[in-house]
Structures are given as structure tokens and as C-alpha cells.
Amino acid sequence: MKTQILFDNDGVLVDTEHWYYTASAEVLNTMGFHLSEDRYHDIMIAGESAFLIAEEAGVPISETDKWRAQRNELYQHYLRTEEIAISGVKEVLEQLSHRYRMGIVTSALRCDFELIHADRGIADYMDFVLCSGEYPRAKPYPDPYLMGWERLGGEKHETIIIEDSERGLRSAVAAGIECVIVHNRFTEKHDFSAAAHRIKTLEELITLLN
């Protein structure tokens, strides 16, 4: 029986993944590099930076670090100005909160997470949030979800992870915890063959857990 849930954030609780890619691609484009969606997904799944394509071409990390800062500013602009809500998420969390302990394990920076969730109410249902830099190694390594599971306590078989990307799924599988994939148009071409279940919307999670 499941008693606790670990949620990814981007693409699961909020619709932000496209805007992170867009911000990265736009900054790279101004520097003369084309970042296709396909290449971005390959880089993303491996847990690497979008600016890898420039570093592979010989651009020093000291320079791409400046580009990352520009990307981060542009991404935050999109977070402030674009619609990123996913319909029904808060209502689902309200129902689940009566039966499950829950946490968020995200690759987002803490500053981005706080901007995303300011006045959104989603984090209110969580026991904790783990952000980028708060665990030893990022997804697809198991560290983020192992730390999340340890925070919740209990047994692995009592825990379920909700993800939308192959990178997150690999992290969950490596951690030895069952993973459900919720559909996200931006990641729909990823390999989800290792997932325990696939659902179209978060609302289906309630039925699945019942």
C-alpha cells in the first residue's frame, strides 16, 4: 500500500519545461548556436547543461557561465509573464493530502522554485521541497529521490514517484522506487518503458492509487 508520494515539479505540477528550453535556445541563438528540441532532450535526459553544445565547440565554461546567467534571467521573465499553471493540480493535491505524506524533488533552482510557486498554494501540501544543489548528484542519478524518500521515512514499497521525463524516471528506477509518468507534450517522445504506470493527467493518479 502506498502511503507517500514524491513529485517532480516542472512538467508535473507546473507547465514550465518549454519555457526553460525556450530561454536556453534564445540565448544560445544570440551567440550563434542552434539548439534543436531533439538535441535539448538528449542533453536533458543525460542531466547535462543546454550550453554543452557551445562547450563542445570550444567555448570556455567561464563564458558559458555568463550565458547561463542570461538564460536564468530570461527564464524568470517567462515565469513571471507566461501561463504555467496545470489545470486541476491543486485540487488533486488537496485530495491526496488527506491520505499521503508528500514532497517535491526538483531539478529547479530554489530561486526559480520560489518564483514559480509564489501565491500558488501547491507547496502548502508538501512536507518538504528539495531543489537543485540540495542533494549530492542531480537526476538521472538516484540521489535526489533517495534523499526525498529518507525525508519521508517509511519503506520504498510504500513510496511512489510522479515524473514526466526520462531523466526523472531513470533517477527513480536507480533509487529502486516505483514511478508513474504523467503525460507532458514536451517530453512525450522520451523512453518511458521502465515506468510502472503512465497516466494522461494528474487526476488519474487518484484512481490509480485507489
pLDDT by 10s per residue, the chain, length 210: 899 999 999 999 999 999 999 999 999 999 999 999 999 999 999 999 999 999 999 999 999 999 999 999 999 999 999 999 999 999 999 999 999 999 999 999 999 999 999 999 999 999 999 999 999 999 999 999 999 999 999 999 999 999 999 999 999 999 999 999 999 999 999 999 999 999 999 999 999 999
b/e code 117-137 from CB counts within 10 Å (16+ = b): beeeebbebbebbbbbeebee
CA 29, 32, 38, 43 torsion-angle sign: negative
Of the candidates 60, 69, 81, 90, the residue with the CA atom closest to the CA atom of residue 16: 81
Location of C-alpha cell 543546454: 50
Query: Which pLDDT score, from 0 to 100, does residue 12 have?
Result: 98
Query: Which pLDDT score, from 0 to 100, does residue 187 have?
Result: 97
Query: Which pLDDT score, from 0 to 100, does residue 69 have?
Result: 97
Query: Which pLDDT score, from 0 to 100, does residue 208 have?
Result: 96
Query: Which pLDDT score, from 0 to 100, does residue 173 have?
Result: 98
